[in-house]
Amino acid sequence: MIKKISILFFILFSLQTIYSQGIFTKERLLNRENHDKKKYRWGYYLGLNSLDFKIDYVEENADLPLEDQEIITNKQLGFNVGLIGNLRINDYIDLRTEPGVIFNTRTLFFPNIVSTRPTDNTREIQTTAVHIPILIKLSTKRLNNFKPFIVGGVSTSINLSSNEDNPDDNSVGEFRTKSNLLNYEIGFGIDFFLPYFKFTPSIRGVFSTTNEVVQDNNLPSIYTSPIDKLSTRGVFINFTFQ
């Protein structure tokens, strides 16, 4: 995480240095000049997401050698939509929240399970999650009609499609995951000040700190026993309108 933050701060510092050297300072007509001076701002966003799992395996499993425990996540492209609430702290710092809904589907493939039925070695994980982040946005000085920034913070996700409380487990094809997740987020983007609104493309990494796997009822299980920790990793690309 420290490495990621350092890289983003380097990008921010580089952009600020370019500005100080006058490369982008040719005077232009400013769009929505007072937009970011408002104490409170509102908007909405649409975006795409790609979700994966980070899987840590148990060091020793008598029933399954460590080299045969690898589980593969087959990813699909999902989408997200939500609202924005922004509180201005000063010219360079904003506190914001971006409550929204995430839609995605992942499929876990268990190559160590040999079966004539394809459904025995795959498990589909549905995600329809309410996502609520609290973020700090650090911006550079405005460069004519655009302003780069980095953003980071914490969030919670509530998966409405979770089967955590389902009494059935993998014996009948149900791979259970927890519904409530805690995450940290970090990313960057650019505010573009257009004549009638501010448009912001951004990219952000989302990293769950929650162990999401729910162990099967009867252990050891060829599906869940090899897993020590299973956590979501995601990349969000959002397009914001304010």
Task: Record the tokens describing residue 196, joined without a space.
Answer: 């009638």
Taking only the tens place, the pLDDT of each residue in 205-230 is 999 999 999 999 988 888 998 899 99
Confidence (pLDDT) at 96:
96
Taking only the tens place, the pLDDT of each residue in 48-101 is 999 999 999 887 554 555 555 689 999 999 999 999 999 999 999 999 999 999
Taking only the tens place, the pLDDT of each residue in 93-132 is 999 999 999 999 999 998 888 776 767 889 999 999 999 9
* Range of the structural domain that residue 195 is part of: 40-241
Would you say 110 and 223 are in contact if contact means Cβ atoms under 8 Å apart?
Answer: yes
Question: Is 145 within a domain?
Answer: yes
Confidence (pLDDT) at 17:
46
Question: Is 7 within a domain?
Answer: no
Taking only the tens place, the pLDDT of each residue in 139-150 is 999 988 999 999
- The 3-class SS string of 54-116 reads EEEECCCCCCCCHHHCCCEEECCEEEEEEEEEEEECCCCEEEEECCEEEEEEEEEECCCCCCC
Mean predicted lDDT score pLDDT of the chain: 86
Confidence (pLDDT) at 7:
53
Mean pLDDT, range 188-193, rounded to an integer: 95
Confidence (pLDDT) at 3:
52
Q: Compute the distance between CA of residue 184 and CA of residue 1 in angstroms, rounded to an integer.
A: 10
Domain CATH code at residue 185: 2.40.160
Run of H or E residues at 14: helix 2-20
Would you say 110 and 121 are in contact if contact means Cβ atoms under 8 Å apart?
Answer: yes
Q: Is the pLDDT of residue 239 over 70?
A: yes
Question: Is 8 within a domain?
Answer: no
Buried b (16+ CB within 10 A) or exposed e, 17-53: eebeeeeeeeeeeebeeeebeeeebebebebebebeb
Mean pLDDT, range 166-189, rounded to an integer: 93
Q: Is the pLDDT of residue 21 over 50?
A: no
Q: How confident is the model at residue 36 (pLDDT cuts 50, 70, 90)?
A: confident
Question: Is 23 within a domain?
Answer: no
Question: Is 22 within a domain?
Answer: no
Nearest alpha carbon to residue 242 among 62, 94, 92:
94
Q: How far is CA 48 from CA 119, 127, 132, in A?
A: 28, 14, 16
Percent of the chain's residues with pLDDT above 90: 65
Confidence (pLDDT) at 220:
87
Domain count, the chain: 1
Q: Compute the distance between CA of residue 232 and CA of residue 52 in angstroms, rounded to an integer.
A: 6
Question: Is 65 within a domain?
Answer: yes
pTM of the entire structure?
0.82
Query: How many DSSP H helices and E strands does the chain contain?
Result: 1, 10
Confidence (pLDDT) at 190:
95
End-to-end Cα distance, the chain: 30
Q: Is the pLDDT of residue 2 over 50?
A: no
